[in-house]
Amino acid sequence: MTQAQFLRALKHKLRGVPASEREEALRYYREYLQDAALEPKADVTPLVGTPQECARGILADSLIRQERGAQKAAEPARSDGGRVMLGVLMLPVWLIAFAVLLSLGVSGAGLALGGAAALPAAFLMVGELGQALVVAGYGLLLISVGVLLIIGTAALWRLCVRGAAALLRRKGAKHEEEH
């Protein structure tokens, strides 16, 4: 394997490593081979080994450091006690949020139903066609507003749930750290 082939292969094997690390390693071996003053097409394996061997050491170090970093970030998120405690403390907030969402949803449903009821009523009860159409129009408007409200409520609900989950995951961790 020539110098150029070696460096190319090493670069490929290190593609999973952060760019700065990869560049440092390639620079080291490039200079090493230059200092060894080989013929450009000479086989470098007796001098530096295979790209596989070289990459192995670098990857191992990189993985060890990544794992340690990941451990530090992951550990805090495993406190069940903290999570339960937080959930209980935030009960009033959950109740208020639930009440607000419920009322919004019910209002939306009410509007939609009212609008739906107005449609046939418009034609059955109102004498003049023109006025009936106007009432029907209002009915449709109510339906759309109601439906929009329901959709909005559902979206808000999902947002609250996700926010609560994220909060419990993080805050539960901080609670654990304080203890």
Partner 1 sequence: MLYALTAPLLDACVLGVLAQGDSYGYALTQQVRTVVDISESTLYPVLRRMQKAGQLETYDRPYQGRNRRYYRISPAGRAALELYRDAWRSYRAGIDELLGGEEA
Q: How far is CA 162 from CA 75, 83, 94, 165, in A?
A: 21, 15, 13, 5
Comparison of 56 and 162: residue with beta carbon closer to partner 1: 56
- Provide, rounded to whole angstroms, the least separation between the CB of residue 70 and partner 1: 18
Per-position x/- string for 79-118, each x denoting binding to partner 1 as judged by CB under 8 A, each - no binding: ----------------------------------------
Q: Are 175 and 85 in contact (CB under 8 A)?
A: yes
Binding of partner 1 by 69 (CB under 8 A): no
> Residues near 111 by Cβ (< 8 Å), separated by ≥ 6?
142, 143, 145, 146, 149
Taking contact as CB under 8 A, which single stretch among the options 22-30, 120-128, 153-161, 163-171 is the one that binds partner 1?
22-30
Among 4, 60, 95, 155, binds partner 1 (CB under 8 A): 60
Stretch that binds partner 1, among 19-27, 104-112, 124-132, 147-155 (CB under 8 A): 19-27
The identity of residue 75, as a single letter, is E
Using an 8 Å Cβ cutoff, are 118 and 142 in contact? yes
| Total site size for partner 1, rule CB under 8 A | 20
**Would you call 43 helix, strand, or coil by DSSP?**
coil
**CA dist 39 → 3, 17, 30, 44, 109 (Å):** 9, 30, 14, 10, 82
CB 150 within 8 A of CB 133: no
Contacts with partner 1 in 25-54 (CB under 8 A)? 25, 27-29, 31-32, 34-36, 47-49, 53-54
Q: Which residues bind partner 1 (CB under 8 A)?
A: 24-25, 27-29, 31-32, 34-36, 47-49, 53-54, 56-58, 60-61
